[in-house]
């Protein structure tokens, strides 16, 4: 991802003409870039912040079929999600991994055991697997020690999958660029180029050089998620995106050492709340609220959400009571849900996507992390009449298979090796080769290592310290005190790989700590 070379070419008047310009560097934009490159289109992706800065680094980290969508009768969305889940599990093991979910059955509340059995029978049938079962309170207690089961009638167990959503975006971008596409982060589109009432390109804000760059393309695809209305409203005043916030808390694994996902109903409003393992820590989430704040300011958890999630956890685990002092970090993401006239309850809005065509601007929004490939295909179908004939292809895999096995990469630890192959593909070997053996050691209770930090700084368009600690890795979220134990090592690494001097490091460290305190910690009281 050689960002500086591409910008230099553009400033010289080169690389200005494209078949497709994609605006938005989340999973939807990355998916469009991947499918466009596969078809031979000269495609450029522009992201105004960092890759996955918005929703795509702040989801609940789940690749799932959407059990509640099936319960609500949305068979089509469930089918698409389940088939894509199975595809991702096959193509990207180590990045997307199957995990068991336990849906606790609450006395007197829907769904009960029979209803869940029917739902899960259909769920597994669509996915082409059979792994659901009923578990008694005794089994549930064994999986989640200390669980309050007085109000429960066992649980329904089934499987879905977990992912590092930001690494999923980076891996898709990696595949896209290998197939001939281009991408720039921190590249804001400040306007569209409109000629004869048609969109023919976009104006890139070249803030670093104090100017702008006009880029031409017969198709501009607006994949900006929760921001989609903003760009679309330059052509069409319609407002369709309803931003909904989901927030999460991270606590130390030792406080609640879980290996599976528990879904239980909140004691107040009976919404489902998860407790699950992630990157060496334990997560509690999520909420579902209308997000009224400025979208250009990072989303953060509200005090009412902190109280709501702690209340849910303490009700389910009365002997493991937590307080705010136990929270390592938090995160909040804004889901770009297509709003309806009928639903006032955020949790009852549909999660499918929509595509609109306005004079050469194709806007796509909504949908789920799991179905990003299908969303991308729909966007390209909407654009096809403005594009040349695509080149033929026979392989529709999102991810190229690695050139080696996990056993060959790290014979002493194939499980960790598979994690690296899932996140970096065949580049995993180069990642390890470019780092010293000491940098291969896992950091704290996590499976991250400093070799990944060096690789990201060298190859993944890191512009700021928060790019590295909050998205390329999650070290700033799962280590105490924002990962300050790593600052000495990272200072040396950033100076060596990015050419930062002492003052730049201090400026970046201050920026990162401010971002972490404001948006990844708890609200100030």
Mean pLDDT throughout 27-54?
98
pLDDT at 208 > cutoff 90: no
Per CATH, the homologous superfamily of domain 3-55+166-240+350-386 is FAD/NAD(P)-binding domain (3.50.50.60)
DSSP states of 414-452:
HHHHHHHHHHHTTHHHHHHHTS-GGGGSB-TTSS-BHHH
Collect all residues with Cβ–Cβ distance below 8 Å to 118 and sequence separation of at least 6.
none
- The whole-angstrom separation of Cα 485 and Cα 465 is 14
Nearest partner of 337 among 348, 322, 328, judged by Cα: 348
Residue 155 near residue 135, CB atoms below 8 Å: yes
Beta-bridge partners for 263: 103, 274
Indicate the domain borders of the chain. Answer: 3-55+166-240+350-386, 95-162+242-344, 434-519
* pLDDT at residue 209 in the model: 87
pLDDT at 488 > cutoff 60: yes
**Is 355 in a helix, a strand, or coil?**
strand
Mean pLDDT throughout 385-413?
97
- Which pTM value belongs to this model? 0.96
Can you read off the two tokens belonging to residue 379? 């966007």
- The whole-angstrom separation of Cα 181 and Cα 19 is 11
Mean pLDDT throughout 8-36?
97
* pLDDT at residue 350 in the model: 64
Query: What is the layout of strands, in order, in the sheet containing 198-206?
Result: 188-195, 198-206, 211-216
Residue 48 near residue 187, CB atoms below 8 Å: yes
* pLDDT at residue 345 in the model: 72
Mean pLDDT throughout 245-255?
98
Residue with tokens 């990844």, as numbered in its chain: 520
**Is 335 in a helix, a strand, or coil?**
strand
Mean pLDDT throughout 479-502?
98
- The whole-angstrom separation of Cα 220 and Cα 415 is 41
pLDDT at 410 > cutoff 60: yes
* pLDDT at residue 346 in the model: 75
* pLDDT at residue 456 in the model: 98
> Given CA atoms 59, 442, 512, 46 in this order, what sign does their dihedral have?
negative
Confidence of residue 197 (pLDDT cuts 50, 70, 90): very high
What percentage of the chain has pLDDT greater than the value 70?
98
* pLDDT at residue 207 in the model: 86
DSSP states of 204-263:
EEEGGGTEEEEEE-SEEEE--GGGHHHHHTTT-----EEEEEEEEEEEEGGGS--SSEEE
Say which CATH topology domain 95-162+242-344 has: D-Amino Acid Oxidase; Chain A, domain 2 (3.30.9)
Choose between 341 and 447: higher pLDDT.
447
pLDDT at 396 > cutoff 80: yes
Confidence of residue 76 (pLDDT cuts 50, 70, 90): confident
pLDDT tens digits, one per residue of 94-113: 999 999 999 999 999 989 99
- The whole-angstrom separation of Cα 438 and Cα 450 is 8
Kindly state the helix (H) or strand (E) to which residue 49 belongs, with its residue range: none
Beta-bridge partners for 39: none
Confidence of residue 40 (pLDDT cuts 50, 70, 90): very high
If DSSP states are collapsed to H, E and C, what string results for 143-164? HCCCCCCCCEEEEEEEEEEEEC
Please state the separation of Cα 330 from the chain's center in Å.
15
Nearest partner of 186 among 375, 380, 373, 466, judged by Cα: 466
Collect all residues with Cβ–Cβ distance below 8 Å to 83 and sequence separation of at least 6.
126, 127
| Average pLDDT taken over every residue of the chain | 95
Peptide bond into 351 cis (omega under 30): no
* Angle between helix 414-424 and 165-178 (nearest 10): 60
Residue 224 near residue 238, CB atoms below 8 Å: no
Please state the separation of Cα 290 from the chain's center in Å.
20
Cα angle: 140, vertex 273, 31; to 5 degrees: 110
Peptide bond into 498 cis (omega under 30): no
Lowest mean pLDDT among 19-33, 297-311, 351-365: 351-365
- The whole-angstrom separation of Cα 231 and Cα 181 is 23
Lowest mean pLDDT among 186-195, 207-216, 307-316: 207-216
pLDDT tens digits, one per residue of 322-363: 999 999 999 999 999 998 655 567 766 766 899 999 999 999
- The whole-angstrom separation of Cα 76 and Cα 65 is 10
- The whole-angstrom separation of Cα 105 and Cα 389 is 53
């Amino acid at each position: 991802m050689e960002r500086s070379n591409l910008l230099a070419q553009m400033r010289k008047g080169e690389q200005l003409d494209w078949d497709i310009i994609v605006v938005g560097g989340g999973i939807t934009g990355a998916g469009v870039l991947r499918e466009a490159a596969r078809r031979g289109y000269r495609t450029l992706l522009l992201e105004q912040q960092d890759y996955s800065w918005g929703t795509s680094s702040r989801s609940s980290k789940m690749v799932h079929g959407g059990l509640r969508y099936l319960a609500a009768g949305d068979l089509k969305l469930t089918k698409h999600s389940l088939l894509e889940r199975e595809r991702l599990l096959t193509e990207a093991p180590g990045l997307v991994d199957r995990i068991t979910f336990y849906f606790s059955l609450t006395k007197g509340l829907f769904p009960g055991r029979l209803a869940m059995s029917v739902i899960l029978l259909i769920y597994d049938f669509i996915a082409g697997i059979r792994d659901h079962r009923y578990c008694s309170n005794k089994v549930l207690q064994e999986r989640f020690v200390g669980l309050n089961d007085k109000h429960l009638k066992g649980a329904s167990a089934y499987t879905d999958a977990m992912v590092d959503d930001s690494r999923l975006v980076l891996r898709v971008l990696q595949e896209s660029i290998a197939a001939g596409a281009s991408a720039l982060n921190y590249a804001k589109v400040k306007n569209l180029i409109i000629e004869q009432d048609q969109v023919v390109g976009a104006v890139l804000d070249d803030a670093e050089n104090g100017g702008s760059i006009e880029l031409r393309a017969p198709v501009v695809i607006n994949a900006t998620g929760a921001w989609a209305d903003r760009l679309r409203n330059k052509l069409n005043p319609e407002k369709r995106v309803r931003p909904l916030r989901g927030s999460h808390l991270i606590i130390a694994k030792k406080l609640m050492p879980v290996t599976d996902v528990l879904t239980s109903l909140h004691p107040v409003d009976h919404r489902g709340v998860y407790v699950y393992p992630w990157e060496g820590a334990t997560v509690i989430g999520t909420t579902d609220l209308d997000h009224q704040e400025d979208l250009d300011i990072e989303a953060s958890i509200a005090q009412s959400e902190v109280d709501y999630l702690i209340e849910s956890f303490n009700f389910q685990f009365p002997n493991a009571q937590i307080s705010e002092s136990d929270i390592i970090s938090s995160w909040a993401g804004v889901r770009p849900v297509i709003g309806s006239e009928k639903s006032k309850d955020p949790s009852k809005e549909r999660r499918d996507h929509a595509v609109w065509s306005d004079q050469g601007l194709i806007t796509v929004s909504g949908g789920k992390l799991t179905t990003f490939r299908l969303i991308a295909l729909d966007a390209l179908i909407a654009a096809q009449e403005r594009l040349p004939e695509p080149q033929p292809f026979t392989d529709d895999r999102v991810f190229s298979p690695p050139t080696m096995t996990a056993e060959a990469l790290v014979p002493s630890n194939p499980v960790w090796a598979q994690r690296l192959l899932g996140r970096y593909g065949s580049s995993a070997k180069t990642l390890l080769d470019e780092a010293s053996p000491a940098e291969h050691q896992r950091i704290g209770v996590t499976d991250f290592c400093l070799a990944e930090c060096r690789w990201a700084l060298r190859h993944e368009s890191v512009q700021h310290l928060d790019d590295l600690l909050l998205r390329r890795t999650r070290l700033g979220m799962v280590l105490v005190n924002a990962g300050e134990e790593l600052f000495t090592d990272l200072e040396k690494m950033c100076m060596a790989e990015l050419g930062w001097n002492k003052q730049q490091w201090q400026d970046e460290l201050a920026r990162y700590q401010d971002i972490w305190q404001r948006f990844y910690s708890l609200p100030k009281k």
